[in-house]
């Protein structure tokens, strides 16, 4: 399965799990697909881009159309469907460690760089919670929808189609009374504030956000919420998870990527650190140790020592 596909006017560029780009001629099949997508999703005016999701060949895809040198480029990424399990994502034996940050009420953030799999992990956690009998009914707010649920107790709302914005959807969700809320991504102050309020209202809230690690995620939420609102963040949180992927070498392209991650459960000590803001963030290292959890750096260094990955691979992953 290709990780990313770019369809141009004359060729198709495919990025595999090995991270190597391959260019192939534009076949008739891809010509027809390109025509179909442009007829349905071409943005107006041409200076704009457009996000969409669609089904093709019994699979779901996330798409993005943008203009480059007077030509439309279509970017596609295959979406997961069916049953998802943390063990199958590379978290073998770590299911309880991860679920511990999302079992209760409050906001759980899944963070990492683009393409690191944080959205897949979040949806998998949602499925694991359902298998544990504690997820309950769930409303998702996504832009666009990235995973399709067949469960009738899951109500998926796509931004721009079913609701104008994530923030507006979070205001409406209080009248829909789900036990769990899933947010595709926190990207702006309004969404960050609405997510925190939802966490404070007694819901379980799962959301992704771009950040390099847990400390960076906290700093970014500080920036989005501002000084007057950040004190609410400490009260709303129940957990954080950060991850990066290390792709196999070209020779081992069929192997799955290695996931390096860290989790932190928000308890009284970590809550007090958050209340103080930037000045006490260095103390999080002690909180990881108190909870007997590894940071990503500690996890990665242990893999290097056991020769599961190289130091070069690890340093490259952390610098993305």
What are the residue ranges spanned by the domains of the chain? 4-79, 86-318
Percent of the chain with pLDDT over 90: 64
Of 187 and 22, the one with more pLDDT: 187
pLDDT at 16: 57
Domains 4-79 and 86-318 share a fold: no
Rg (CA), the chain: 20
pLDDT at 185: 95
pTM of this structure = 0.84
Angle at 128 (CA atoms; ends 122, 131), nearest 5 degrees: 150
pLDDT at 73: 96
Cα–Cα distance measured from residue 145 to residue 43, given in angstroms and rounded to the nearest whole number? 18
Instruction: Look at residue 268 and tell me whether its pLDDT is greater than 80.
Output: yes
Contact 242, 112 (CB under 8 A): yes
Of 247 and 94, the one with more pLDDT: 94
pLDDT band at 2 (very low <50, low <70, confident <90, very high): very low
Instruction: Look at residue 205 and tell me whether its pLDDT is greater than 90.
Output: yes
Nearest to 26, CA basis, from 74, 63, 59: 74
pLDDT at 229: 93
pLDDT at 18: 47
Cα–Cα distance measured from residue 61 to residue 81, given in angstroms and rounded to the nearest whole number? 10
Instruction: Look at residue 251 and tell me whether its pLDDT is greater than 50.
Output: no
pLDDT at 208: 98
Contact 44, 50 (CB under 8 A): no
Cα–Cα distance measured from residue 253 to residue 150, given in angstroms and rounded to the nearest whole number? 32
- Topology of the domain covering 4-79: Beta-Lactamase (3.30.450)
What number of other Cβ atoms are within 10 A of residue 272's Cβ? 13
Q: Quick one: three-class SS letters along the chain?
A: CCCEEEECCCEEEEECCCCCEEEEECCHHHHHHHHHHHHHHCCCCCCCCEEEEEEECCEEEEEEEEEECCEEEEEEEEECCCCCCHHHHCCCCCHHHHHCCCCCCEEEEEEECCCCCHHHHHHHHHHHHHHCCCCCCEEEEECCCCCCCCCCCEEEEEECCCECCHHHHHHHHHHHCCCEEEECCCCCHHHHHHHHHHHHCCCEEEEEEECCCHHHHHHHHHHHHCCCCHHHHHHHEEEEEEEEEECCCHHHCCCCCEEEEEEEECCHHHHHHHHHHHHHHHHHHHHHHHCCCCCHHHHHHHHHHCCCCCHHHHHHHHCC
pLDDT 10s digits, 127-173: 999 999 999 999 999 987 878 888 999 999 999 889 999 999 999 98
Lowest-confidence pick of 61-65, 228-232, 248-252: 248-252
Of 19 and 123, the one with more pLDDT: 123
Query: Hey, what are 316's tokens?
Result: 């490259």
Q: Which of 84-88, 115-119, 239-243, 310-314 has the highest mean pLDDT?
A: 239-243
Q: What's the average model confidence in pLDDT over 168-187?
A: 93
Instruction: Look at residue 242 and tell me whether its pLDDT is greater than 50.
Output: yes
pLDDT at 22: 82
pLDDT 10s digits, 269-298: 999 998 887 888 899 999 999 999 999 999
Nearest to 309, CA basis, from 234, 236, 255, 267: 255
Angle at 275 (CA atoms; ends 99, 195), nearest 5 degrees: 50
pLDDT band at 20 (very low <50, low <70, confident <90, very high): low
Lowest-confidence pick of 38-42, 43-47, 96-100, 197-201: 43-47
Which residues, in sequence order, are bridge partners of residue 121?
none
Nearest to 72, CA basis, from 104, 39, 99, 95: 39
pLDDT band at 234 (very low <50, low <70, confident <90, very high): very high
CATH 1.10.10.10 corresponds to the domain 86-318 = no
Instruction: Look at residue 320 and tell me whether its pLDDT is greater than 70.
Output: no
Instruction: Look at residue 59 and tell me whether its pLDDT is greater than 80.
Output: no
């Amino acid at each position: 399965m290709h990780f990313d596909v770019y369809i141009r006017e004359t060729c198709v560029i495919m990025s595999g799990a090995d991270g190597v780009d391959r260019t192939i001629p534009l076949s008739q099949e891809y010509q027809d697909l390109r025509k179909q997508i442009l007829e349905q999703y071409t943005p107006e005016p041409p200076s704009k881009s457009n996000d969409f999701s669609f089904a093709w060949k019994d699979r779901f895809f996330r798409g993005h159309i943008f203009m480059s040198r007077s030509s439309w480029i279509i970017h596609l990424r295959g979406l997961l469907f069916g049953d998802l399990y943390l063990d199958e994502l590379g978290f073998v034996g770590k299911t309880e460690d991860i679920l511990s940050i999302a079992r209760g009420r409050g906001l759980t953030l899944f963070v990492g760089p683009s393409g690191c799999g944080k959205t897949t992990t979040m949806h998998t956690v949602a499925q694991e919670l359902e298998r544990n009998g504690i997820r309950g009914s769930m409303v998702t707010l996504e832009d666009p929808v990235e995973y399709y649920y067949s469960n009738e107790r899951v109500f998926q709302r796509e931004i721009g189609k079913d609701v104008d914005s994530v923030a507006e959807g979070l205001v409406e969700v209080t009248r829909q009374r789900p036990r769990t809320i899933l947010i595709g991504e926190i990207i702006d102050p309004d969404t960050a504030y609405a997510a925190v309020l939802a966490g404070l209202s007694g819901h379980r809230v799962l959301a992704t956000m771009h950040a390099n690690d847990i400390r960076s995620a906290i700093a970014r939420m500080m920036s989005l919420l501002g000084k007057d609102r950040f004190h609410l963040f400490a009260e709303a949180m129940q957990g954080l998870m950060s991850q990066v992927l290390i792709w196999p070498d070209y020779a081992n392209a069929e192997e799955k990527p290695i996931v390096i991650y860290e989790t932190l459960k928000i308890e009284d000590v970590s809550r007090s650190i958050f209340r103080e803001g930037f000045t006490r963030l260095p103390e999080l290292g002690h909180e990881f140790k108190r909870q007997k959890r590894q940071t990503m750096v500690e996890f990665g260094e242990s893999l290097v020592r056991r020769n599961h990955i190289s130091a070069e691979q690890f340093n490259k992953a952390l610098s993305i």
